[in-house]
Structures are given as C-alpha cells and as structure tokens.
C-alpha cells in the first residue's frame, strides 16, 4: 500500500544556506539548487537545521523559502522548515511557505519548552487544519529536548494533512512502531540509518550528506528498491565515513559547510553561535574526503 506522502519517497536534501560576509549568497544558492536538480534529487529542504534556521532572521527565513521555490520552478519538490516552538509562529511560517509555492512543510517538534504529548498533538493539529500543505513531523529529541511518542504520531496520522515523519530519534523500535501503526511516509533523519530504516519500511531520507554526493545516496535507495541488497549494503558502507563525519566531527551544519568549502562549493561561512571546525577536525575531514575520492 502506498504511504500517505509517497511523492516524497527517495532523496530529500537538507540544504545548507550559503553565506557571504554574513548575508545569504543567493547566486551560490542557485548553483546548489541546480546541482540537486541535475542529480535527480526528489525534494529540497531549505531552512532546516542544516540551513541554520535558528540563526536566520524571520525575514531571511521567508526570503530563502521564496527564493528556493522560485528557483526550483516546479522542477523539484520543496519542503522547507517552517517549525517553531511557538505554534503561532510555525503557522505564520507555514502559510508564508504555502503562498511562496512550497509542496510540503517540515515541522520540527517544538523545542526547549517541552510540551506534553497532548501539547504536541494540538500544535500539529492546529497547523494541519489551517494549512493546505502536507505536513512532515520532524522528531529529533536530541535537539528539541523531548520525544514525540509513537502513540501521539499515530493519533496525528489520522489528520488529513499529516503525511510524513522525519525520524531522527535513532530508535529502530520507535520507527517500527510508527511504520506498523500508520500509513505515514517515514524518512530517515540520520544519513547513517537510511538503509536500516528502509529495511523496516521507511521510504527514503532527508539527507545532509546529499549536499555533497546526492548521486550516491540516490544509488543506495535505488539499489534497495530494486531488491539488490548487496549493492545497497556496499553503498551504505561506502557512504558511512562521510555520514559519520557530517554529524560526528561537530554540530551540524559545521562539518558539511567545511566539506563544501574544501570542495570549492561554498565559503564555509557560518552564523554565530556556530563556529568552524578546528584545524585537527578539518584535517580528519580532509582525510575522509580524500579517502572517498572527492579530493
């Protein structure tokens, strides 16, 4: 049976936000969008964690979404981050994204204020009922401070516009509970868990490493879908060092921006309080990129 957000199955890329002298570099941004379209990526996810959404101003957040939608021009799906720990602000961002032409909205769990499970339910229900966009629940308790329990997600799955889950709890049991009890489209929120999660029914990934090697992530997904498990495992192990470094060397998006700088595709500039890799960390990253064949 097709899942609820099946049109988003495959590779979605959590785009970095390229910066130059503290401002969004829209020329570089357009190049990165075209790179993803040419690679065959299914969906772009701007202004998520990887896109430094916590440090962009509200005006910049809206402008980035509008720019990505305009540049994509229907050639690729766009699912921007429009979440907030304020339901009113998440709804404002979501309506703005809908007006700009987004195809769906990525809604991170309300962070810091740690709602109850009923609070999570009411938050997502309010957004789903007041927006026409398919909604993707982004559950990442390591950043937000609290888990959206599978039972709550199962309740939310009954709402028409709740279509997807970006699963970043690291728990295969949690993912299994969601996949077995709902028809939501589950996407991995951890690059290194794409294949394990697809093996239990997930439909793809919202990827950080896809900023660098989208074709290889697509190849992993395609191999699994074709039943070629040996090739899927080979791609998993090939990608693993990159996946490990993107989330292990430092806080996302510090390593991926450093990697893109080394590859000549970004300035590597970050907005405070994010700071660059140390010299030692950058040397480790350079070794990984060299071992992968990228440098």
4 lies in a domain?
no
122 lies in a domain?
yes
98 lies in a domain?
yes
5 lies in a domain?
no
Give catalytic status of residue 20 as yes or no: no
235 lies in a domain?
no
Find the catalytic residue in 4, 77, 146, 166: 166
19 lies in a domain?
yes
Over 90: is that where the pLDDT of 63 sits? yes
Average pLDDT over residues 156-171: 98
Quote the number of domains for the chain. Answer: 1
Average pLDDT over residues 205-216: 98
* Mean pLDDT over each residue of the chain, to the nearest integer: 98
- Please give the C-alpha separations between residue 59 and each of 55, 89, 93, 103, in angstroms, as whole numbers: 11, 13, 10, 20
256 lies in a domain?
no
97 lies in a domain?
yes
Structural contact between residues 46 and 77, judged by C-beta atoms closer than 8 angstroms: no
pLDDT (tens digit per residue) in 220-236: 999 999 999 999 999 99
Give catalytic status of residue 95 as yes or no: no
Question: Which structural domain, as residue segments, surrounds residue 55?
Answer: 10-228
pTM of the model: 0.97
Would you state the pLDDT for residue 16?
A: 98
Average pLDDT over residues 251-269: 98
How many whole angstroms separate alpha carbon 57 and alpha carbon 176? 37
Find the catalytic residue in 138, 146, 233, 257: 138
- Banded model confidence at residue 130, pLDDT cuts 50, 70, 90: very high
- Banded model confidence at residue 168, pLDDT cuts 50, 70, 90: very high
Would you state the pLDDT for residue 1?
A: 66
For residue 263, give the H/E element and its range: none
Average pLDDT over residues 272-287: 98
Number of Cβ within a 10 Å radius of residue 219: 18
pLDDT (tens digit per residue) in 7-37: 999 999 999 999 999 999 999 999 999 999 9
CATH number at residue 204: 3.20.20.70
Structural contact between residues 115 and 123, judged by C-beta atoms closer than 8 angstroms: yes
Average pLDDT over residues 51-76: 97
How many whole angstroms separate alpha carbon 14 and alpha carbon 252? 11
Residue with tokens 């909604």: 135
Structural contact between residues 38 and 214, judged by C-beta atoms closer than 8 angstroms: no
């Amino acid at each position: 049976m097709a899942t609820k957000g099946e049109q988003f199955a495959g590779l979605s890329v959590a785009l970095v936000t390229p910066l130059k002298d503290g401002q969004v570099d829209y020329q570089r941004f357009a190049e990165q969008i075209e790179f993803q379209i040419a690679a065959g990526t299914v969906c772009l996810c701007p202004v998520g964690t990887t896109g430094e959404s916590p440090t962009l101003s509200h005006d910049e957040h809206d402008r980035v979404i509008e720019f990505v939608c305009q540049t994509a021009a229907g050639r690729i799906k766009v699912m921007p981050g429009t979440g907030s720990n304020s339901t009113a602000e998440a709804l404002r961002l979501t309506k703005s994204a809908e007006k700009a032409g987004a195809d769906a909205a990525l809604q991170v769990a309300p962070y810091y204020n740690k709602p109850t499970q009923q609070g999570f339910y009411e938050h997502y229900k309010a957004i789903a009922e007041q927006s026409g966009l398919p909604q993707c629940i982004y559950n990442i308790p390591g950043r937000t401070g609290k888990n959206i329990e599978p039972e709550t997600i199962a309740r939310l799955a009954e709402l028409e516009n709740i279509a997807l889950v970006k699963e970043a709890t690291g728990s295969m049991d949690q993912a299994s509970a969601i996949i077995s009890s709902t028809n939501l489209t589950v996407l991995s929120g951890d690059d290194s868990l794409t294949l394990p999660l697809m093996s239990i029914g997930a439909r793809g990934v919202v990827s950080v490493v896809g900023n660098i090697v989208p074709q290889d992530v697509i190849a992993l997904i395609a191999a699994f879908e074709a039943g070629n498990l040996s090739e899927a495992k080979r791609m998993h192990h090939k990608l693993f060092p990159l996946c490990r470094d993107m989330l292990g060397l430092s806080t996302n998006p510090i390593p991926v921006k450093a990697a893109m700088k080394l590859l000549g595709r970004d300035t590597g500039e970050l907005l405070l309080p994010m700071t660059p890799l140390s010299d030692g960390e950058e040397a480790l990253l350079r070794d990984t990129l060299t071992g992968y064949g990228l440098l």
